[in-house]
Structure 1
Amino acid sequence: MNLVNSSSMMDAISRRVSKSKLGKLVKGYQQLKEASFISSHFGTYLTPQLASDHELRKAVFQIRHNVYCEELKFEPVAPDGLEIDEFDHYSRHCLIRHINSDELAGTVRTVRPLQSHEMLPIEKYCLSSITRHDLNPQNFDRKNVCEISRLAVPAQFRRRQMDRFAGAATGVINHQAYSETEMRCFPFIAIGLYFAAAATALESNIAHAYVMMEPRLARSMSFVGIKFEQIGPVVDYHGKRAPYYINKELLTRGMRPGFASMLNSIRKNIREQLPETERFYNDEILRFTNNNMISNRASIS
């Protein structure tokens, strides 16, 4: 179609449709295109995967050791090269796999206490920092709370210049490097990990989620329309961090259509993996982490 015909067509549409309605139609079409692109782009190159067996969980702990112990030095180096703590007993671990190379591009966990004595990391280490008493996790039944933590992206998947900045290893999005039209450059690994953690919580019907994170990470998540609610002041915990809260409504009400589509796709993928893993997940993860924590303590002593 030449420019004259195209212009004539737009004039004809404009005569039949009011300016406001035309604007809504154009915006709706653009949002539909963006939604389709974001979801398909992620699915073309990356896929979420639950750590459902011994080898995948070992890979999770190796990635975390590389990032948290060797690179960031938040935790001491372990003799076996695995970063494991007490909360892994009752956590679900997610990975993002790079389809073309078949390499694991990042990990995150959702800590899911089920017993009365099981705590969230935020409860054990930073409970006094929560000043929104109505949103204190101890107000809610154990099965209705979770915490998203230990997000880690290996260095080899942070090769781009725009991803080489402080915080990229733990998922901070350098939103100043991305414009509205540069979605091909968006850090899909980081946002895919957040969405994988969210998917595990949603599929388990968990009502309240918590995270200790840097305020700039919370701000960067607003780039995709996710508004975390800060529930306390910034404290010194592996750097300057603050407690944040989110639930299903806060997660979805302001999310841009493209990322909502991406979340739905990841959620469907996670849901399809759950039946197979739920049968042995808790017993296997407890046995694996117990054995490795005992081994680490023996090596250190």
Structure 2
Amino acid sequence: MIQPLAYIHPEAKIARNVVVEPFAMIHKDVEIGEGTWVASHAVINEGARIGKNCRIYPGAVISSIPQDLKYNDEYTLTLIGDNTTIREYATVSRGTSEHWKTEIGHDCLVMAYAHIAHDCRVGNHCIIGNNVQMAGHVHVNDWAIISAMSAVHQFVKIGPHAFVSGASLVRKDVPPFTKAAREPISYAGINSVGLRRRGYSNEQITEIQNIYRYVYMKGLNNADALHLIELELPPSDERDEIVNFIRTSERGIMKSPLQVNGSAEME
């Protein structure tokens, strides 16, 4: 169902059962999968590849030119997976020659007024809260949640199943399974509520808590903490994911609350 007052470039590839409401604009070199709904006044620019059963709300702008002075009109893309929702006035920039694409996975929710900049990679089942502002090259892993009004520094990585509290300034990497809060941002425990909702057992959650005691509660530097984790704790998928994330972090991970305010109190 394509309304006559919508603008669709003749070179755009739109599946037959896509709904495009009046005053929406879809430019050339756009592909939209089956069952997707594009609301009035949404704008989908060149290079967008939108999956099946997505919902694009009024005022959203997808695949706009990057807000990067180094961008030189190179051919880049914006990829959005199936069943993802982009709410009102959210903006998603396409990639630059650094990564060539901006990616949002499947089954994500990007809330109103959020901005996802060039070359960001957002995994599957992620929630990006109202007015979250993500600079370029941010990597958000699967099942992560960034709460409203947060700002994420360029090149930051947010681990899988992590939870970032509202109005946070995220300048450092947020390791897997953790909660991030306070200013400056610091460890606030593990995301036990989210993990239980996703089927993690009590034994797995306890194991993750024990791992982060080495990282955040014993006063160790990261290298010593990782050495003891691998030496003293049994191997598991969760242990290896945490260790690999911290070991490969380029910006460094968020601090311990002991380093921030001398208190070990967890939220």
TM-score (norm 1): 0.23
Query: Larger Cα Rg: Structure 1 or Structure 2?
Result: 1
Higher RCO (CA-CA < 8 Å; seq separation 6+): 1
More helix by share: 1
TM-score (norm 2): 0.26
More strand by share: 2
